[in-house]
Structure formats: C-alpha cells, structure tokens
A and B are shown apart, each in its own frame.
Chain A
Amino acid sequence: MRTVYLDNNATTQVAPEVTDAMLPFFRDLWGNPSSMHYFGGQVARHVEAAREQVAALLGADPSEIVFTSCGTESDNAAIRGAAEAAGRNVRIITSRVEHPAVLGPCRHLKEQGCDVVEIGVDADGQLNLEELRKALGAGPAVVSLMWANNETGVIFPMETIARMAKEAGGILHTDAVQAVGKIPIDLRGISVDMLSLSGHKLHAPKGIGALFIRRKTKVLPWMLGGHQERGRRAGTENVPYIVGLGRACELAAANIQEKITRVAALRDKLEAGILAACPDTRVNGDRKNRLPNTTNVSFQYIEGEAILYHLSDIGVAASSGSACTSGSLEPSRVIRAMGVPFTAAHGSIRFSLSRYNTEEEIAFVIEHMPAIVNRLRALSPFVK
C-alpha cells in the first residue's frame, strides 16, 4: 500500500539532496572541527558554510545562529536563558496556543516565581493584540509568541508583535518551527530577538535545530564545558546533521515560491474538495493568514482518532486535535482556546502538505473521505 503523507507539520521526509550532503561526513570527513590537524580542521569550514546557509534563509548574520539538537532545545534555551539573564521575577508573556516546548519552560518559570501571562486568541486563532498591548504595558518582559501555529497553520502578525514588544522594551522570542521554510522570513526587517527552528520540519533529519540570537541579546549559555557555538552551547558539533540542516535551508530558500503557490493550491484543492464532499464540516483557523501547507478541518459529530485510523487503513497519514489521540481527555488546547464548538472540537483533523505531495494524492483523499465520514456518522448517536 502506498502512503499519502499529509502530516508534514509533525515531521517531513528527509530530502534526498540533504541525505547526499550528509553522507560524506559519516564516511570520510568524520574529524573533529576543533582539531588542530588538517583532517579535523577541514570539517570546520563545512559547519560554518551550513551556518551561512541557515542565516541566509532567515536574513540573519551567521554569527547569530547557534546549532541545537531540536526545536524544543531552542525554545527552552531561549526562554529560560533570557529569563535567567533578566534576573529574578522577570515577567513572561506567551500565548494560550503555543507548542508544549514553549509552554513547558514558561510554566516551569511560573513555578520559580515568575509572573506568566498567557494571551488569548479569537475564534480564528488570531492573537488578541489588545491583550498583548496591556500585558506589555505592565513592565519589561520576556515575550515568546509563535510565528505560525502547528495545528491550524495560523500565522501571527510577527512584524506588529515585534514592533509592540520593542516599544515596550521587551525581549521577543518566536517559535518559528512551523514557519521557517514555509513562508518567507527576513529578520533584517523584523525586530525579533530570538527565533527557534527545527530541521525535521523542513526536510532535514530529526535531531538538529537552531536558535537565532540577535547580537547583544542577553541569554545565558545553556550547555557548559566547551568553546563550541561561542560558548553558548558547549559540546562537539553534530557535523553531519548541521551540514544537512544547512543544505535543507538552502533548498527551502530555493523552493519557497513553490510552497506558497503550488503547495498552497494543492492544500486549497484538498480543503475545498473535502468541504464539498462532506457536509457538516468546517475549517478551523484564519484562512487568510495561514501557512500554505496546512488545513485543519472539523468533521462534526464524529471523533478524530477514529477518522485517523480509517485514513491510516487506506495509507493516508494525518493528525488530529482530538482528546483520544493524545491520551488526554480534552481536545487540543489550540482548538479549545479558539472556542471551537464541542460538536466539532473532537473531530478536528489536520492535513499538512509538503512539496512532495501530488495532485493525484490529493484527489485520492478527496475521493475516499466521504466514505470514512459516512461510516463513522452511521455509528454516531448524534446523527439522525
């Protein structure tokens, strides 16, 4: 059975070009970039080349890029590092729809005595800017707000947020794990202080990420015991994966137009096809300001996990914000924060595409979706 992979916000296929770029660093160029001998030392320039590739995708300076092990590490390092550098009792401002990698450190800091404010979103999943303005007005703060939401694809107005944070004298971190590589980002024009990204969301492998730290931003180092990454994150560099991330960023920069045109068109086709073929469905989230690859559709009166298992049986990979898929008992925080009605909250399915998806795959899903929905609705006590 072939797989139709529509879960690219969870992880992506490693691009063949990325694998090719990495392999020499397992086989031949396996030296330590810190070594004084040529065999090791020659590797260092590949690490620096990768740093330039990542920086170029973001409009950053290579010296502002720190390689990490994943997006979660980047988020933790940024939020905890900035809060600790700012001293005790610093205020933290975040949102109710952040990824657990951001909420986790924020809640930890709350337990340590920091004042943590969670900004709400409207029914479209858009950030409540008035609430943010008030929170920023209450004094200096470390602000962590995502660039784009992993579940709905909703894009926050980062330029406006950055301006507001800057005027209030706050430090702004953004979890851009879902945004990088899917929409153009240019940090030369947006005063974000720190930005997290993750390799495996943009066709690099799992186990590599990066944190952009704008020059002069105060962040404590989070890994001690070595000079690597300018002393911020000690430890011998994960050279093959760094090289892979660099190549993936280079590809992302080259393919970004395709993402916002062809991939977006496929996504729109899928969304429209499902809405037309299945009654009592709705799209969750702001459809105007949204990642080009994501759609979050609620199928009313049926439950997400059951839909996923039926999709999986025909080879389609997607994900759900239903309670049952997470092992928790309540539907996803994001869906709840948006106030999606209960009739639809448990039946939300996220389809997230990549440039590897085809017209044929999308047609296949549209063709099979009604049968799955009807099958489950025939079982549902809420459908007469």
Chain B
Amino acid sequence: MWDYTGKVLDHFRNPRNVGEVESPDGIGEVGSLACGDALKLTFKLDKNGRLADVKFKTFGCASAIASSSALTELVKGMTLDEAAQVTNKDIADYLGGLPEQKMHCSVMGREALEAAIARYRTGKTGKKILEGKVICVCFGVTGEEILRVARDNNLTTVEQVTNYTKAGGGCGHCKPDIEAILARVEQERRKAAASRPAPQKMTVLQKIKLIKETIDREIRPLLQKDGGDLELIDVAGDRVVVSFRGMCAGCQVAQFTMKDVVEAKLREFVSSDLVVEEEKQ
C-alpha cells in the first residue's frame, strides 16, 4: 500500500467538484488512456474574473483523483493570474504531501489548469499545449515541461524527473536528454548562488551563536520527535562537536543522522565548511 496521507484518502473517497461545468469559460485536458491517467478540468469565471466554478473528471489512481480534487478546492475564488501561479508543489502540499513516485499526479493537475487558462486566454485548443521539443516519446513530455518541473521542485536526478513528469519511465531512451536538462538547471542554480552577495565573514561568537540557533530550531525538534536529543559541546574552527542524548545515544543509525541531518543542516544554515563530530566518550 502507498503511504497516502489522510487528506489524500479523504479526497479520493470523497472527491470535491466532480463533473463538468456547463458552458465553461476554460477547458483543460491532459493525459490519455494510454498514459494511465487523464484529467479534464473545466471552469467558469464570475463577473469579477474569479474562478467561481471549477470541476474535474479524472481517470487515474487514488492520488490522481485526490490531486484533481485538491486542485479544484485550491483555485476556487482565485483570479486567473493567481491561479496561473499555482505549482504542482502547492497541490501536493495541500494534500499533506504525496509519495515521491506519485508526484506526477500533482504535475498533471497543474498542467490541466495551465491548459484551461491558456485556452480561455487564447481561445485555442484545450488540449495540453506542447511547448518546445518532445523529449520523452513514450509519455509525450517536452523539454520545457521537464525544465519547469525540475526548477519548481528542485529536482536533481533522472529518477525524480520520472516520478514527477513520467519522462524516462517508458523505454528510457530519453534519459541522456533528461540528464542534459538537469545539468542546465544545476548550472542555473550555481549561477544564482554565485550572484548572491558573498556571506560576511562571521566572528567566532557569531558563528557559535548561529550554530546554537540552528541546532535548537532545525535539528533538535526533529530528533525529539523520535525521543532523542542533541547537545552542542564545542566549536573549534570549523569543527563542531556534539553529543547525542535520549534515544539517539547509542542508536544504531545515529551515525547517519549525524551526517544526513546534523551536518547537512549546519552546512545549510551556517557554513558549508563545517565538519560535525560526535563527542568521544
């Protein structure tokens, strides 16, 4: 069974806004029977240009149905400009998250919304508008779409791209092309990071204070959820010495927690040069 949130199951069991709006202002259709999921979204605007009525029909799994239902709830009452800003992440967040392999369901929702808005604005086809070259022939995914989803969701691996867009999930021949797109996104990210003003050199006291704050705010609440805790013992240059407490002390996986949580968070919020060690008994 999938680890669906209660909200996903609720929207699957009791989908909101099912059907088709009569004489709709916008219609968006994405997916197909061959792809395994498809969504038809219709909406009507009120006199203020807000989405007064939004309905969906979906062929797909529990999370596809839940994502469609969530989308309609999410955008109701929005202006088209507001709705155009909705990302697949907003849909997933609304549902309290989706399993990674099911993220493409949230992307399908955003695509249908986009197609419906485009149709209203241009009067053109309500089918998904393909921008740019098709990269994944099996599922008809374009480079533009992959680029957009990779940027919106901070994706770094081909597997993630497949989970989010289906691209690469068929014959797999397009995987090198997806790699190339990911490399481009990564380059953009690096450029953006480089153009950010260089962090001011911290004094030792500032650094210790920031480390302490990060531990209290970002790390300890995570550990406490599992009955563990962490204490800052010493800071010497870029060496941070900590000690596990509670359930974490002597825990078999604590060494992973050390690298993947403690060090990762401190590097993210304080300095990428930090090395974290456990206090030697």
Contact = CB atoms under 8 A, between A and B. Distances in A.
Contacts, number: 74
A328 B36 CA distance: 11
A339 B170 CA distance: 16
B139 A382 contact: no
Given A309-B12, A329-B169, A378-B18, A323 B59 contact: no
A331 B138 CA distance: 13
Interface stretch (A232-240, A300-308, A363-371): A300-308
A312 B26 CA distance: 36
Interface in B1-37: 1, 9, 12-13, 15, 18, 29, 32-34, 36-37
Contact of A379 (B57, B63, B169): B57
A326 B37 CA distance: 15
Q: Using C-beta atoms within 8 Å of the partner chain, give the interface range for chain B.
A: 20 to 34
Contacts of A328: 169
Interface in A295-347: 301-306, 309, 312-313, 322-325, 327-331, 342-343, 346
Main secondary structure of the interface of B (DSSP, over half): mixed
B209 to A, nearest CB: 45
Nearest to B60: A303
Interface in A349-377: none
A343 B35 CA distance: 10
A306 B65 contact: yes
B39 interface: yes
Nearest to A310: B13
Contacts of A305: 61-62
Contacts of B79: none
B61 A342 contact: no
Contact of A301 (B33, B36, B102): B33
Contacts of A304: 61
Given A328-B169, A379-B18, A343 B61 contact: no
B119 interface: no
A380 B58 contact: yes
Interface string A152-186: 00000000000000000000000000000000000
Interface string B58-88: 1111111100000000000000000000000
A302 B104 CA distance: 18
A225 interface: no
Contacts of B34: 342
B7 to A, nearest CB: 15
Nearest to B162: A329
B179 to A, nearest CB: 18
Contacts of A322: 36, 61
Nearest to A327: B101
B110 interface: no
B59 A302 contact: yes
Contacts of A331: 36
A189 interface: no
B66 to A, nearest CB: 10
A381 interface: yes
B95 interface: no
Nearest to A324: B61
B57 A303 contact: no
The 4 closest A-B pairs by CB, nearest first: A329-B169, A324-B61, A305-B61, A381-B57
Given A329-B139, A381-B40, 5 more contacts: A309-B62, A322-B61, A327-B101, A330-B169, A343-B33
Interface of B: 1, 9, 12-13, 15, 18, 29, 32-34, 36-40, 57-65, 101-102, 104, 139, 162, 166, 169-170
9 contacts: A303-B37, A324-B60, A324-B62, A330-B36, A331-B36, A343-B33, A346-B36, A380-B57, A381-B29
